[in-house]
Amino acid sequence: MKRTTVMLPDETLARLRHEAKLRGTAVAEIVRDAVERHLAEADRPRNRSLGFIAVGEGGPADASERVDEHAAAAIRRRGG
């Protein structure tokens, strides 16, 4: 494990220290956990916007009946 320095606003650091005291753990442990959770979330696939979904008029007339087919076609067009 490597050491690093993180600059935090005074208020954030005070809250972090308070949380560590409540949990009975080190500030570093809370920071490591937060960074790991953030990176895990960033690694999760994001939903792509499907361009055929429209509000009001426009889009395929049969979109509601053939939603799976239209979704697959839209994903293929975007290279997915």
How many Å apart are CA 71 and CA 16, to the nearest integer?
44
pLDDT of residue 55: 54
Q: Is the pLDDT of residue 75 over 70?
A: yes
Q: What is the pLDDT of residues 11-61, one digit of tens each?
A: 999 999 999 999 999 999 999 999 999 999 887 776 666 555 555 556 667
Can you give the pTM of this predicted structure? Answer: 0.53
pLDDT of residue 78: 77
Given pLDDT bands bounded at 50, 70 and 90, which one contains residue 69?
A: confident
- Packed helices 10-23 and 27-43: angle between N→C axes, nearest 10 degrees: 100
CB 75 within 8 A of CB 48: yes
How many Å apart are CA 73 and CA 62, to the nearest integer?
14
